[in-house]
Structure 1
Amino acid sequence: MDLTRTLIIGNSGAGKSWLAERLAGHLQVPWVDLDSIHWLSDPHSIARPRSQALAMARIAADEERWVIEGVYGWIASEILHRATALIWLCVDDDECVANIRRRETQDDERLVALLEWAGSYRTRDDSSGFAAHRRLFEGFFGTKIRLVGREETAALVHHS
């Protein structure tokens, strides 16, 4: 299993950042969160122009070793050719929504929108939805790992 350059995809609230942080620490490689590339400002209010975001992602993916994670299929598809491993966190939508509720401290319009978006992962027809992530996963020729729950995710960190 070659985890030299690992790309992690999945729904919001699936545990991508949790896994990426631990995997990057274990492998002693940089960790890049695609949220920091996609968004110009916090809290997720102004998106960076697509061309700038893609340029930044390509620069990160040109490094020799990394863990990159995010929900953005349109970015992942542009850097997938550099990955040696693809991990798809295919966690149930209800679990993702519950995870978001646990981690978020403010109850505002942004949270409501995020919960609705995460809850529609399997029905959304965009580059960040289930069908698009499945196509990325099925078309990848390196090491592929599909995880469906917290226990499997923790086991991967423990055994890598």
Structure 2
Amino acid sequence: MNERSYKRILIIGCSGAGKSTLSIELAERLQLPVLHLDALFWNEGWVPTPKPEFREKLQNELEKPAWIIDGNFNSTIEMRARYADLIIFLDFPNWLCLTRIFKRRWMHRGRTRPDMAEGCEEKVDWEFVKFIWTYPKKKRPGVYEMLERSSAEVLILTSPREVKEWLSTVHA
């Protein structure tokens, strides 16, 4: 795999899989700009950007010549996939994602994490836990359907170990 040829990399997966961590690491290695969808969508106090405005902002980012974009937002996954030349799907077990979410909550308690919009303090609520727990049954099938239709190269990583091994092969 020749990473130099990838200019638009989409990183998707369940919350807690490590999308933002991977995007930051890849951006450093490949010298590409990163866009965290959470930071684009959420406004201070967890106020969502209206969907038409969000899609317009996202479209402007997608048209740029190079990027790494991480995030879920299934309503825009097809839109993002059309522009990507590499899609990385972190397909991790839901128990691992939940564990990481609670760890992240503890590490960033009372403040905003770096990949989130300012004024959005780290939180975990029942709705979020339920989303993560049901991701394999409710969201994963649609992700796989999209990946099958995509013209981008697809890389599916199923464990942190696979991510680490793959990253060891990535050099600018």
TM-score (norm 2): 0.82
> Match of 2:74?
73
Report whether the alignment pairs 1:137 with 2:147: yes
Q: 1:109 to 1:13 in 2, by over 3 A?
A: closer
Cα separation, 2, equivalents of 1:138 and 1:11: 18
Report whether the alignment pairs 1:121 with 2:135: yes
**Structure 2: which 5+ residue stretches go unaligned?**
111-121
> What aligned pairs does 1:23-38 form with structure 2 within 5 A after superposition?
23-38=26-41
Which 10-residue stretch deviates more, 3-12 or 70-79? 70-79
**Structure 1: which 5+ residue stretches go unaligned?**
none
Which 10-residue stretch deviates more, 72-81 or 20-29? 72-81
TM-score (norm 1): 0.88
Residue correspondences, number: 154
> What aligned pairs does 1:6-25 form with structure 2 within 5 A after superposition?
6-25=9-28
Cα separation, 2, equivalents of 1:72 and 1:103: 20
Q: Which runs of 4+ in 1 moved over 6 A?
A: none
Instruction: Assess if the C-alpha contact under 8 Å between 2:81 and 2:152 holds in 1.
Output: no
Instruction: Assess if the C-alpha contact under 8 Å between 1:54 and 1:78 holds in 2.
Output: no
Q: Deviations over 1:121-156 (max 9, x none)?
A: 0232xxxx2122112211112211000000111122
Cα separation, 2, equivalents of 1:142 and 1:110: 33
Matching residue's letter, 2:89: W
Q: RMSD of the TM alignment (CA)?
A: 1.8
